[in-house]
Amino acid sequence: MAKEAPRTAREIIDQAIEENRWNERLLYFIAVICVISGITALLFGLIREQGVVAVAGGVASGLFIPAMHQARKIRRENMAIRLLEGPLSKAATAKDASDALKEFFVDTFISRKSSPNP
């Protein structure tokens, strides 16, 4: 049984980013659908002089904000993961790599959750 060579940091990082890319694209798609359907309902309500439909269209258009916020968050995390490649590839020892990973996770996930404005 042949032993596989361990994956490099670059391969692992590329895989993590590729896994996040699908979610990012899905959120952009949801944002576009919300805006298009909201504007369509808003215009329909204005043309037909139906205020409730127009308000519903405005609310639907506003729903793109949470989707865009999540997509931006995923993009920031992808960039942070990509930037982690440098310190990991330069780490001379396992201790250096461990310190780089600890710093990355604290900066990326813990400090952003505790800050009120990400």
List of residues 6+ apart from 80 with CB closer than 8 A: 104, 107, 108
Among 2-6, 22-26, 51-55, 84-88, which stretch is predicted with the lowest mean pLDDT? Answer: 2-6
What does the pLDDT look like over 72-108, one tens digit per residue?
887 777 777 777 777 777 778 888 888 888 887 787 7
**pTM metric for this prediction:** 0.56
Contact between 39 and 57 (Cβ < 8 Å): yes
Question: How far apart are alpha carbons 20 and 40 in whole angstroms?
Answer: 31
Question: How far apart are alpha carbons 57 and 41 in whole angstroms?
Answer: 5
